[in-house]
């Protein structure tokens, strides 16, 4: 007999693979309803053309919009649902990657002078999938904001079921964005075509695992690398990770190793590029755990990199982010000579505070 998603979840809890969470469990019946609908033949209703014998219209099934804070288990629930739904054609993709594909295909279609490029593109997608799972919906780019409403209208009209996760409530998408009034119909569409479910879990399991654990490894040698890799494997289930792409006012911040709110990058990847406060605020707002490899000794010789590191740690501190890192020395001895040593004392103090067992547990 086939198990329900709730039964599968309970089994994973019993096996120690997941920690029981009432809010996560409460979201599963909604996903189960979508699962059962997808495993049944599409409902069709007769439209005008159907009555004339030429066509019928697919009755749209409601999808799910699952939202809540970073680390609340949204992606895990989507993965559980996706793995156990026997949909004839399904796809799971990060929302930002999906929109990049959309913009690229629109660009090519517009070269053909087609009158409405969004419709044929939606028809192409609908011909390939019945279930579209989009992880981490976040809209900050005006180009995406102006396209996504009509695209989703066409997709759902064509019978595509959309299940998506987001850190934001629908009403907070594209907040304060340019020409946001033109975006508001999309919010109404989400509410009409997707069942909105807030995941109110109060426990971030990555935070729980880190409570009391060593999170600062020095020196940054082979042993530290092994420890960092062990931490990554524990937090991500040994997932290799995929790129995290954060759109920022016409450009993009890309970090190559990300999985479900955990990002791993080297000091050099974060601090040798011309990144500033806006970049680091976007990063700390999008993840829950930041892993930094190979923090070197700092001095006047790498003053610019040191300044960026100070800005990064300030952002981590203000966001109450969990930080795991390997470094050449203890915080107080990372920057002992040259301009900026006095200012770095605060950074060293914050690095110590961030290592505390109860750091960020209330976030």
pLDDT at residue 212, rounded to an integer = 61
HEC-encoded secondary structure of the chain? CCCCHHHHHHHHHHCCCCCCCHHHHHHHHHHHHHHHHHCCCCCEECCHHHHCCCCCEECCCCEEEEECCCCCCHHHHHHHHHHHCCCCCEEEEEHHHHHHHHHHHHHHHHCCCCCCCHHHHHHHHHHHCCEEEEECCCCCCHHHHHHHHHHHHHHHHCCCEEEEEECCCHHHCCCCCCCHHHCHHHHHHHHHHEEEEECCCCCCHHHHHHCCCCCEECCCCHHHHHHHHHHHHHHHCCCCCEEEEEEECCEEEEEEEEECCEEEEEHHHHHCCCCCHHHHHHHHHHCCEEEEEEECCECHHHHHHHHHHHHHHHHHHHCCCEEEEEECCCHHHCECCCCCHHHHHHHHHHHHHHCCCCCCCCC
pLDDT at residue 47, rounded to an integer = 46
pLDDT at residue 48, rounded to an integer = 40
Q: Where are the domains of the chain?
A: 5-198, 205-354
pLDDT at residue 207, rounded to an integer = 55
pLDDT at residue 326, rounded to an integer = 97
Asked if domains 5-198 and 205-354 share a fold, the reply is yes
> pLDDT by residue for the chain (363 residues), tens digit each?
789 999 999 999 999 888 888 899 999 999 999 999 998 876 655 444 444 444 445 556 899 999 987 678 898 999 999 999 998 899 999 898 898 899 888 888 888 877 789 999 999 999 999 999 999 898 877 888 889 999 999 999 999 999 999 988 999 898 878 888 899 999 999 999 999 999 875 555 555 556 667 899 999 999 999 999 999 998 888 888 899 988 776 788 999 999 988 999 999 999 999 998 889 988 988 888 999 999 999 988 898 999 999 999 999 998 888 999 999 999 999 998 877 787 788 899 999 988 886 676 544
Q: Quick one: 5-198 is in which CATH superfamily?
A: P-loop containing nucleotide triphosphate hydrolases (3.40.50.300)
pTM of the model: 0.58
Fold of 205-354: Rossmann fold (3.40.50)
């Amino acid at each position: 007999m086939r198990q329900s998603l709730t039964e599968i979840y309970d089994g994973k809890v019993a096996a120690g693979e997941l920690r029981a969470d009432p809010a996560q469990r409460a979201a599963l019946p909604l996903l189960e309803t979508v699962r059962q609908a997808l495993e049944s033949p599409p409902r069709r209703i007769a439209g005008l053309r159907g009555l004339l014998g030429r066509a019928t219209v697919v009755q749209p099934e409601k999808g799910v919009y699952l939202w809540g804070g970073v680390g609340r288990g949204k992606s895990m629930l989507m993965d559980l649902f996706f793995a156990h739904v026997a949909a004839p054609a399904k796809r799971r993709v990060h929302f930002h990657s999906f929109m990049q594909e959309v913009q690229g295909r629109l660009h090519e279609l517009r070269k053909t002078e087609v009158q409405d490029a969004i419709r044929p593109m939606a028809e192409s997608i609908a011909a390939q999938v019945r279930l579209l799972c989009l992880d981490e919906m976040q809209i900050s780019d005006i180009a995406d904001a102006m396209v996504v409403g009509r695209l989703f209208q066409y997709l759902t009209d064509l019978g595509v079921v959309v299940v998506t996760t987001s850190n934001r409530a629908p009403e907070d998408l594209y907040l304060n964005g340019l020409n946001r009034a033109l975006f508001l119909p999309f919010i109404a569409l989400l509410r009409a075509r997707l069942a909105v479910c807030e995941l109110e879990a109060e426990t971030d399991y990555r935070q729980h695992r880190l409570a009391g654990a060593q999170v600062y490894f020095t020196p940054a040698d082979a042993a530290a690398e092994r420890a960092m890799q062990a931490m990554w494997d524990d937090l991500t289930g040994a997932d290799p990770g995929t790129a995290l792409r954060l759109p920022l006012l016409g450009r993009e911040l890309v970090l190559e190793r990300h999985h479900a709110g955990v990002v791993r990058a080297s000091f050099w990847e974060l601090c040798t590029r011309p990144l500033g406060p806006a970049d680091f605020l976007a990063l700390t707002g999008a993840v829950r755990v930041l892993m930094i490899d190979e923090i070197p000794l700092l001095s006047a010789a790498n003053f610019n990199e040191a300044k960026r590191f100070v800005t990064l740690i300030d952002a981590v501190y203000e966001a109450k982010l969990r930080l795991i890192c390997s470094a050449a020395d203890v915080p107080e001895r990372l920057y002992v000579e040259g301009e900026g040593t006095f200012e770095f004392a605060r950074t060293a103090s914050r690095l110590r505070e961030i290592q505390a067992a109860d750091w960020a547990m209330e976030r």
